[in-house]
Amino acid sequence: MTIADKPLCQCPLDNNDMPCKSVAIEGKLFCSKHTQCKPSPTNGYEPKYIPEILNKSKKYLETHNCISYALRGNKINKDLIKQCSDTVCDVRFEQPGAASKKRKAMRKASLRTCPVVQKLTKSDLGNNFIKTTFRKKCPKQMSKVALVVDEGTDYHWYRQNPDGTWSHKDGSNPVKNFDAKQRKIFNPKQASRDYGTDLNYEDFCGFYCVSRDKEINLKQGGKRKKTHKIKQPNKLIKRVSMRNKNKNKNKNKNKNLY
């Protein structure tokens, strides 16, 4: 493994979330200078991390994607569940912009960028969605989420757990609290998000606070894309492929997690 391939320290350098560029100690999340790094502050409104419950429900896995998991917390959208039969569950995922009548916006590769996904999410959630930083504490009745993008290909969401770590759910895959290098996520901005030539969430869009005491206005997007599998360390992970390849990117970059 080269230096470039080694996991970096997940501790931000300052209140502006500037990343530490040092390599993490082997088997650890931080470099030697940041072994006492403090996690992003919590306020008691973070959804519990309960993969042992959520991952048992096949219908939940097939109907709730990254945005559903991050923005809804542990509140299950029963309308999505009802669309599944006992044998078939080809349900359209919730997408940013769908609730504000921009259901097809994410179909265009050129719109899969940080500014667009953030704007669409804001148009759906309004004051229930505000920008923040790693070091700031969210207001009461809100908790922290994070957005990343593989420009032209896909977006992905994370949410903060009660202990300050982070978790996510990619597409119809199980809920998890580790990154692309199988490391626990202390800071999604500095976690490993490179899944190889097929998918690399290089762009970090920001941290946000989302309401936990109010109904989150999310709706289903366009037609669900075909699912398939991509081999990863020790397991096979299903991905959801994009129908249209981004002409400005590598021809192999046609898979996504939403």
Between 17-26, 35-44, 99-108, the lowest mean confidence (pLDDT) is in 99-108
Co-location of 115 and 158 in the same domain: yes
Q: Would you say residue 87 has pLDDT above 80?
A: yes
Co-location of 22 and 136 in the same domain: no
Between 1-10, 127-136, 184-193, the lowest mean confidence (pLDDT) is in 1-10
Our count of domains for the chain comes to 2
Co-location of 177 and 223 in the same domain: yes
* Angle, CA of 178, 185 and 60, to the nearest 5°: 50
Co-location of 24 and 52 in the same domain: no
Co-location of 56 and 95 in the same domain: yes
What gap in Å lies between CA 150 and CA 87, rounded to an integer? 33
Co-location of 59 and 174 in the same domain: yes
Check residue 3 and give its pLDDT: 45
What gap in Å lies between CA 12 and CA 17, rounded to an integer? 5
Co-location of 167 and 63 in the same domain: yes
Co-location of 78 and 146 in the same domain: yes
Co-location of 231 and 146 in the same domain: yes
Co-location of 153 and 85 in the same domain: yes
For the residues 48-59, what does the mean pLDDT come to?
97
3-class SS of residue 227: strand
For the residues 187-196, what does the mean pLDDT come to?
94
Check residue 255 and give its pLDDT: 38
| Torsion, Cα of 186, 8, 202, 135 (10° steps) | 40
Co-location of 66 and 137 in the same domain: yes
Residue ranges making up the domain that contains 4: 1-38
Q: How far is CA 126 from the centre of its chain?
A: 20
Return mean pLDDT, the chain.
Answer: 86
**Which tokens belong to 196?**
């190889």
Co-location of 232 and 135 in the same domain: yes
Bridge partner list, 235: 232
